[in-house]
Amino acid sequence: MKRVLLFLPLLIAVGVGVFLFAGLGKDPTKLESVLVGKPVPEFSLESLDNPDVKLDPSVFQGEVSLLNVWAEWCPSCWDEHEYLMYLAREQGVRIVGLNYKDQRENAFRFLNRLGNPYETIIFDPKGTLGFDLGVYGAPETFVIDADGVVRYRHVGVVNQKVWDEVLLPVIAQARGSS
Amino acid sequence: MRLLPAFLAVLMMLSGPAIAEVSEVYDFDTRAEEQRYQQLISELRCPKCQNQNIADSNAPISKDMRDEVYRMMQDGASNDQIVGALVDRFGEFVQYKPPVDNRTILLWAFPAIATIGGFLIVAGVVWRARRREDEPPLSAEDRARAEQILASQSDKADRR
């Protein structure tokens, strides 16, 4: 019995080691959205293209979409834009834009330079919808199913790796179940 | 040399702006309300700059969160409602104090478990030591043998 007890510190050390090692690979800056499984929050905001057109959560009805939160002032948004163009043009993904805390003219300049992958763009100059969505750093990309329910939230740039490993499986699942 | 205190005083005045905190100013009706606000924003964590509370953080998202806390306070919301509204958007991450529920009970109970466990270990060690003290260090038989051996040793020493 005494002998066995001598191994106790080793067992505890191994246990703590396993626990800490499991946490090593995780990126603490990426938080899971609390909205997963819930419908997109209510909103009524202007379309970026046309101030007279009001958009609401019904823009997400009927088809699985990506909701991409972007702004002209956000450097990473410039980086990921090319890939969004590819997704929209080559992969036929429906992308709804959320222009977050931006100015119209800046947003237009951005789109004129890099192209427009968005089917619709919600204009959110005060970041109210962004706040309700729990956006804490653009760019963020949400997967929204055909019923307007949030399925996933990705914080950071979307690229080939993120698309293949993260977003595509979620989208495939959302398409399958609705 | 007599100018030194004055010089230091000027330096201290100039250093003021360097430690100035977050800039926006809110009006509160009472001092208690203001303290409640300060308390709330010091217990809420900024999702962007993860090791700061929203009181200290200059991130735009922290400003939005402070605005929301202020707005809800003006609407007469309770602390729980305000924290709840932010948790519903940003997740439990924004609370420095996690709520007590099934998932966090171990976390909350751990200090008590560790204290009681440590106390039990110490009590056990003391109890065993006490029990050993009560026993005579040598039985009568052993004592007789020991005396015999010692006597024979001293005999040898005497003979030398």
Question: Could you report the per-residue pLDDT of A101-132, keeping only the tens digit for each?
Answer: 999 999 999 999 999 999 999 999 998 999 99
Return all residues near A31 (Cβ < 8 A) that are at least 6 apart: A136, A155, B47, B90, B91, B93
pLDDT at B18 over 50: no
Mean pLDDT, rounded, of chain A: 90
pLDDT at B33 over 80: yes
Contact of A174 with A146, CB cutoff 8 Å: yes
Which tops the pLDDT comparison, B58 or A13? A13
ipTM, interface predicted TM-score of the complex: 0.76
Least confident of A84-88, A109-113, B31-35, B135-139: B135-139
Confidence of residue B20 (pLDDT cuts 50, 70, 90): very low
| Residue that the structure tokens 């997963």 belong to | A36
Contact residues on chain A for B48, CB-CB shorter than 8 A: 136-137
- A136 and B48 in contact by Cβ < 8 A? yes
Tell me, yes or no, if A127 comes closer than 8 A to chain B by beta carbon. Answer: yes
- Interface-testing mutation among B61, B66, B67, with chain A (most A C-beta atoms within 10 A): B61
pLDDT at B1 over 70: no
Q: What are phi and psi of B84, to 5 degrees?
A: -60, -45
Residues in chain B: 160
- B50 and A29 in contact by Cβ < 8 A? yes
Which tops the pLDDT comparison, A85 or B5? A85
pLDDT at B85 over 50: yes
**Residue B21, pLDDT score:** 52
pLDDT at B19 over 50: no
Domain boundaries, chain A: 35-177
- How far is it, in rounded angstroms, from Cα A110 to Cα A126? 19
Q: Provide the β-strand partners of residue B53.
A: B45
Q: Which residue of A has its CA nearest to B91?
A: A34
pLDDT at B116 over 90: yes
Selecting from A28, A31, A34 the residue whose C-beta is nearest the C-beta of B88 gives A34
pLDDT at A148 over 60: yes
Please identify, in words, the CATH class of the domain defined by A35-177. Answer: alpha beta
pLDDT at B76 over 80: yes
**Residue A121, pLDDT score:** 94
Contact residues on chain B for A131, CB-CB shorter than 8 A: 64, 68, 89
